[in-house]
Amino acid sequence: MSRGPTAPRGTRDVLPEEALARLHVIDVARGTFAAYGYGQIVTPTFEDTEVFVRGVGTSTDIVRKEMYTFDDAGGRSLTLRPEGTAPVARAFVEHGMHKRQLPVKLWYLAPMFRYEAPQAGRYREHHQLGAEALGSDDPLLDVEAIALLAEVYRRLDVPGVRLSVGDMGDAASRDPYRAELFAYLRAHEGDLPPEARERMRDNPLRLFDAADEATRAVMHEAPRLLDRLSDAAAEHRREVLAGLDALDIAYEEDGALVRGLDYYTNTVFEFTCDRLGAQSGIGGGGRYDGLVEELGGPPTPGVGFGTGIERITLALGDIGDGASLDCYVAIPDPALRDRLLPVLGRLRSAGLSCDAGWGARSLKSMMRQAAARGARHTVIIGPREAADGVATVRDMRSGDQAQVPIEDLGRELA
Ligand code: HAM
């Protein structure tokens, strides 16, 4: 046998056991989003590249080096969605959603594509659950977004979750601060590697995200935007932190938290999980009051978050054995083959999950399969049962057996 193709580097297949754990995560998140008044939005898997260049920003790693961008046969530049907020803002503008009752609250579940160095918890395709509330600058909405994500983790029982809250200020805080930070960096330019020197000209705040030691050391001493907030931005932050306190949501203030996207204003936040190792970020988000306008809409504030499903299932650990069956149907006699699908159909119509011994030859091997599949009951039909119009039903836990008329199977076992 020659070696066949494998999944592309940094992508992964989800097999049924893990898929079941994912479905649980999705179900819990969906229920929580509904409880907070969010409706689902589905946007395309690819967008015009411009959506991300304008939305996410040219100084970010995402736009500079991580996007899967290609020209289609019509010569149009398209990009596989690396994140969910810019597409939602694009859809908000395209559908004139500013005319709806504000804020418009939207959640999504979607694959995201980023050309990152793969490692545990970091993939080139990952799946995010996200929520965006567009059309209100109320700081309590920031609090509600954080509380919603905290509630998703609480309902899922994700262990070891911590919250950091930073602030990107408003334009009145950020513009003078950028100038001050740039001047500080110019004074320390000699200590910075070439990439950081190039980047500081584009957006000096991005250097807070740098991974290399030299830049980190310089940034450690850098002035912090948190200490330079305008009165309005400081008041916004005060209300957000007071709102978190009122809900008893624990947080740390983090003046170096800038997050990897350029659209943020005011509140930014990140949840980390101590079970995740190096890629400890389990979810994050913030306010983005300029994004909708950047994408051609009317000035519209917004706040939201995204959380990676793979990181949640990793944090939850044990993914279990997968789904077990209500019944396993064993009809070993080839002469009775025609009974199999009608019996399965009858059980399934009664709402039972069931499967059969496809390809197994003997009752013994079928019973082994039934046990391996975790079936609650095995339904056995041999020549004698068939002649009497009954099945032998075996309770797989107790080992008890009983004869049940075939037409009563659904009712008996449901
Ligand atoms: P982000 O922090 O880039 O934010 O991603 C959100 C979450 O997606 C992360 O916390 C992590 O759980 C997961 N994630 C990101 N990259 C990967 C990866 N390569 N492999 C596995 N999981 C990953 C955003 O994308 C923003 N759109 C969030 C947001 C929504 N901000 C406001 N609204």
- Digitized pLDDT (tens) for each residue of the chain, 414 residues in all: 678 999 999 999 999 999 999 999 999 999 999 999 999 999 999 999 999 999 999 989 999 999 999 999 999 999 999 999 999 999 999 999 999 999 999 999 999 999 999 999 999 999 999 999 999 999 999 999 999 999 999 999 999 999 999 999 999 999 999 999 999 999 999 999 999 999 899 899 999 989 899 999 999 999 999 999 999 999 999 999 999 999 999 999 999 998 989 999 999 999 999 999 888 999 999 999 999 999 999 999 999 999 999 999 999 997 777 778 999 999 999 999 999 999 999 999 999 999 998 887 899 999 999 999 999 999 999 999 999 999 999 999 999 999 999 999 999 998
CA angle 222, 224, 225 (to 5 degrees): 140
Separation between Cα atoms, residue 398 and residue 377, nearest integer Å? 10
Q: Which of 107, 311, 312, 313 to mutate to test the pocket of ligand 1 (most atoms within 8 A of CB)?
A: 311
CA of 306 to the centre of ligand 1 (A): 5
CA of 283 to the centre of ligand 1 (A): 6
Is residue 409 within 8 Å of residue 343, measured between CB atoms? yes
Atom of ligand 1 nearest to the CA of 304: 33
CA of 84 to the centre of ligand 1 (A): 9
What are the tokens at 228? 């330079």
Pocket of ligand 1 (CB under 6 A): 83-85, 114, 116, 121-123, 126, 128, 130, 132, 260-261, 281-286, 304-308, 310-311
Instruction: Tell which residue, 145, 189, 159, 136, has the closest CA to residue 36.
Output: 145
SS3 label, residue 404: strand
Alpha carbons within 13 A on the beta-carbon side of 99: 4
Cis peptide before 5 (omega within 30 of 0): no
Burial class (CB in 10 A: 0-12, 13-18, 19+), 268: buried
CA of 259 to the centre of ligand 1 (A): 10
- pLDDT of 59 reads 87
Atom of ligand 1 nearest to the CA of 282: 12
What are the tokens at 23? 């479905």
Atom of ligand 1 nearest to the CA of 283: 10
Separation between Cα atoms, residue 342 and residue 98, nearest integer Å? 54
- pLDDT of 141 reads 98
CA of 35 to the centre of ligand 1 (A): 23
- pLDDT of 320 reads 76
Domain boundaries, the chain: 16-168+251-316, 171-229, 327-413
CA of 153 to the centre of ligand 1 (A): 15
- pLDDT of 186 reads 96
pTM over 0.85: yes
CA of 30 to the centre of ligand 1 (A): 18
Burial class (CB in 10 A: 0-12, 13-18, 19+), 121: buried
- pLDDT of 324 reads 86
Is residue 111 within 8 Å of residue 73, measured between CB atoms? no
Task: Give the architecture-level CATH label for domain 16-168+251-316.
Answer: 2-Layer Sandwich (3.30)
Identity of residue 247: L
CA dihedral 204, 205, 208, 214 (to 10 degrees): 10
Same fold, 16-168+251-316 and 327-413: no
Atom 13 of ligand 1: nearest residue by CA position: 308
Task: Give the architecture-level CATH label for domain 327-413.
Answer: 3-Layer(aba) Sandwich (3.40)
Strand locations in 186-297 (E):
252-253, 265-273, 281-287
